[in-house]
Amino acid sequence: MSAPIRLVLADDHEVTRTGFVALLAGNPELTVVGQASDGEQALALCEQLRPDIAILDIRMPRLNGLGTARLLGQRQPAVKVVIFTMDDSPDHLEAAMAAGAVGYLLKDASRAEVIDALQRVARGEEVLNGGVSARLLRRLTERGGQVSAAQALTARERQVLGLVAGGMSNRQIGETLGITTGTAKAHVERVIGKLGAADRTQAAVRGIALGLVAQPGGSWS
């Protein structure tokens, strides 16, 4: 049996921390190894405990979650950061991504959604709340002009985009479509380019928001 995913949780409300620990009770794959009430404590705990994931609220005294995420990225880049917040503002999602967070979860998420999201982050995926990311993308699209992605993507590229949005690797896409991994990679790179995205995760989020593919799992991209 593999070792559990080790978490440090930082939130200035004790009741939230207690509730989060209770939420994970009974799941042997996830364990909270440390709790902090502000960002500075979170940094110290991460230095001491070397967790797999740091779960940070945005609003905390002394050092907020965004500042903590930036410093963790500089000091301990191996620690993945997930923002766990009530704030569904696209401003904060954009800021969290810029600070290096790979997850953005809302506190009204279900137990199943939280557990799935943390497991995916531990595997190296990015997990963003779908509703917030869609609003952010609409804002970014308005800034840069409407992307004519629906016309730009071929039928095959739209199929590939759907598989990317479903979390498949290039190898898995190749196996699903009966093509080589190299061909799958080339398709993915063209999709990313046509959508003006920085990477495959952003391409998936953009494709979902533009209605090019269905949103996997209902709430998470």
Q: How far apart are CA 21 and CA 34, in angstroms?
A: 10
Are the beta carbons of 191 and 201 closer than 8 angstroms?
A: no
Model confidence band, residue 36 (pLDDT cutoffs 50, 70, 90): very high
Is 69's pLDDT higher than 70?
yes
Q: Sort strands 5-10 and 53-56 into parallel, antiparallel or unpaired.
A: parallel
Mean pLDDT of the chain: 84
Are the beta carbons of 132 and 90 closer than 8 angstroms?
A: yes
Domain ranges for the chain, please list them: 5-128, 136-209
119-142 pLDDT, tens digit per residue, is 989 998 888 766 776 666 666 655
Who contacts 58 (Cβ-Cβ below 8 Å, separation ≥6)?
A: 64, 65, 66, 83, 85, 87, 92, 96
3-state secondary structure of 35: strand
Which spans in the chain are helix H? 14-24, 39-49, 65-75, 90-98, 111-122, 130-144, 149-152, 155-165, 170-177, 181-194, 200-209
Residue 32 — φ and ψ, nearest 5°? -85, 115
The pLDDT of residue 142 is 56
For residue 182, count other CB atoms closer than 10 A to its CB: 10
Are the beta carbons of 217 and 165 closer than 8 angstroms?
A: no
User: CATH homologous superfamily of domain 5-128?
Assistant: Response regulator (3.40.50.2300)
* Sheet arrangement for strand 30-36: 30-36, 5-10, 53-56, 80-85, 103-106, 127-128
The residue type of 101 is A
Q: What percent of the chain has pLDDT over 70?
A: 84
Q: How far apart are CA 68 and CA 44, in angstroms?
A: 11
Classify domain 136-209 at the CATH class level.
mainly alpha
199-208 pLDDT, tens digit per residue, is 887 787 777 7
208 burial via Cβ count (<10 Å: 0-12, 13-18, 19+): buried
